[in-house]
Chain A
């Protein structure tokens, strides 16, 4: 079992909809997670960091962490075509462990 798992997608949503991206992890002791966005041909850029159970909101983005169920999710409200990218979930620690990423396509 991989430490961090994501559905590779692609996940297609219409413009204006909510995009829901999910990530599960195997180490119950994991404390905190990052969501990175990576446009094609570019480097990963951090969009959210979450370390406590519950929700964390930043603009159109909401990260959710459920330690009991060992999953992390990222919700993007009012999705825009510019949100089309690969979203990488990463477990924090002495090193980042990334999931394989989910491709999101927002269609106008």
Chain B
């Protein structure tokens, strides 16, 4: 069983569209994250949720809106997509320790 899963794996869309990425973890963890990895491979945190509550919100444009319907799911909705949003988006989950487990990533390409 996949511990942290994301859908879709690839997403190609036009500028101005709205899209969503879904993440699910079956590890029983309370904390989940969204990261963005740009073309230079720099991995940067965007959001963190603990038991459905937002606890970290880095300086991310408000076109990005995370939603956690329950502690096993963390989705990311992006409005009015821009060229600069093209990146790989990783979901991760964390249990009681500091180790984070990453999903397979979603490669978003905005044309």
Question: A-side binding surface: helix, strand, loop or mixed?
Answer: loop
Residue A22 CB within 8 A of the other chain: no
B1 at interface, CB cutoff 8 A: no
CB–CB B40/A100 < 8 A:
yes
Residues A46 and B48 in contact in the complex (CB < 8 Å), given A100-B41, A100-B42: no
Asked if B99 and A46 sit within 8 Å, CB to CB, the answer is yes
Contact of A32 among B44, B45, B98, B101 (CB under 8 A): B98
From A34, A43, A92, A98, B44 is in contact (CB under 8 Å) with: A98
Q: What number of A residues sit within 8 Å (CB to CB) of B? A: 20
CB proximity to A under 8 Å, residues B79-111: 90, 98-105
B56 within 8 A of A: yes
Contact of A95 among B41, B56, B101, B105 (CB under 8 A): B56
Contact yes or no, B43 A98, CB < 8 A: yes
- In the complex, which range does the number of interface residues on chain B fall in? 10 to 19
CB distance A49 to B90 under 8 Å? Answer: no
B residues near A100, Cβ cutoff 8 Å: 40-42
A43 to B104, CA, bound (A): 5
Given A43-B103, A44-B43, A101-B41; A49-B98 close (CB under 8 Å): yes
Interface residues of A in 12-67 (CB under 8 A from B): 32, 34, 38, 42-46, 49
B43 x A45 contact (CB < 8 A)? no
Residue of A nearest to B47 (CB): A95
Partner of A42, one of B42, B45, B104: B104
Q: A42-B104, A95-B48, A95-B56 are in contact. Are A88 and B43 (CB under 8 A)?
A: yes
Query: Are A92 and B98 closer than 8 Å at their CB atoms?
Result: yes
List 20 A–B pairs whose Cβ atoms lie within 8 Å, in order of A's numbering: A34-B99, A38-B41, A43-B90, A43-B102, A43-B103, A43-B105, A44-B43, A44-B90, A46-B100, A49-B99, A88-B43, A94-B56, A95-B45, A95-B56, A98-B42, A98-B43, A98-B44, A100-B40, A100-B42, A101-B42
What are the 3 A-B residue pairs with the smallest beta carbon separation, nearest first?
A43-B102, A92-B98, A98-B43
